[in-house]
C-alpha cells in the first residue's frame, strides 16, 4: 500500500503525469523540451576549472485558471519575462502545471544533491505566489532560480561544527566546583 493515500489514487503516478505533461496556456509558439536535450554544463566539461553547475534542476510553476489569487501568475506566464528566463537558464527544466480551483499558485524548485543518496533528494524550495502581481511573481521565481536549495541559516551566532569531540568536554555549571563566599 506504499504510495497510496486516501481513496485509492496513486499520488506518485498523478504527480509524475502532471510533471511530464507540460501545459502552456500561452498562444505563442512553445515547444516541449525533453530533459535529455537540456544542457547541463554551461561553463565547460564537468569538473574543469571555470565550469559552474546551477544547483536548480527543475522549476515547477503551479497556477489555477479560475482562482483570483493566480491572476499575477497567469500574467507572468503570458509576459515575455518568463520566456526570457527559460532561455537564460537552459539547464533548468521549467514545468507549468494547472492546479485545481481551490489551490493557490506555487513555485517549487528542485535542487541537485551531491550526497551519496542523491536518488532520495529532499532539496526543494516551495514559495507561495498567492495574490502577487506579475513583477512580484518574477522576483520570487528569480529567487528560487538563484537559490542553492540549502536550509536558511541563522547569522546571529557563529556555529562551530567539528568531526572530533572536544578535548575538554562540554562545560556545565553542575560539574563546576562550589565557590565559598
Kindly report, residue by residue over 99-131, the tens digit of the pLDDT: 887 789 999 999 987 655 555 557 889 999 999
pTM: 0.59
Domain assignment present for residue 4? The answer is no
Residue 1 counted as domain residue: no
Residue 144: CATH number of its domain? 3.40.30.10
Residue 108, in any domain of the structure: yes
Give the 3-state secondary structure of residue 24.
coil
Tell me the residue range of the domain where 109 lies: 14-26+53-174
Q: How many domains does the chain have?
A: 1
**Distances in whole angstroms, Cα of residue 169 to Cα of each of 17, 166, 175, 177:** 54, 5, 11, 16
Residues ≥6 apart with Cβ < 8 Å to 60? 19, 95, 96, 97, 107, 108, 109, 110
In a domain, 179, yes or no: no
Q: Is residue 126 part of a domain?
A: yes
Residue 44: inside a domain, yes or no?
A: no
Q: Enter the C-alpha cell of residue 72.
A: 499575477
The pLDDT tens digits of the residues spanning 23-59 come to 333 334 455 666 555 554 444 555 566 666 788 989 9
- 144 domain-assigned: yes
CB 132, CB 76: distance < 8 Å: no
For 78, the 3-state DSSP assignment is: helix
Amino acid at each position: 500500500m506504499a504510495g497510496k493515500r486516501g481513496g485509492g489514487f496513486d499520488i506518485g503516478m498523478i504527480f509524475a503525469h502532471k510533471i511530464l505533461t507540460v501545459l502552456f496556456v500561452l498562444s505563442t509558439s512553445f515547444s516541449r523540451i525533453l530533459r535529455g536535450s537540456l544542457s547541463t554544463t554551461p561553463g565547460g566539461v564537468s569538473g574543469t576549472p571555470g565550469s559552474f553547475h546551477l544547483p536548480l534542476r527543475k522549476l515547477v510553476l503551479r497556477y489555477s485558471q479560475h482562482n483570483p489569487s493566480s491572476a499575477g501568475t497567469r500574467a507572468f506566464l503570458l509576459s515575455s519575462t518568463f520566456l526570457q528566463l527559460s532561455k537564460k537558464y537552459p539547464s533548468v527544466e521549467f514545468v507549468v502545471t494547472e492546479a485545481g480551483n481551490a489551490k493557490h499558485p506555487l513555485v517549487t524548485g528542485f535542487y541537485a544533491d551531491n550526497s551519496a543518496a542523491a536518488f532520495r533528494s529532499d532539496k526543494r524550495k516551495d514559495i507561495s505566489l498567492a495574490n502577487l502581481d506579475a513583477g512580484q511573481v518574477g522576483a520570487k521565481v528569480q529567487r528560487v532560480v538563484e537559490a542553492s536549495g540549502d536550509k536558511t541559516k541563522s547569522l546571529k551566532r557563529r556555529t562551530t561544527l567539528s568531526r572530533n569531540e572536544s578535548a575538554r568536554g562540554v562545560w556545565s555549571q553542575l560539574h563546576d566546583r562550589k565557590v565559598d563566599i
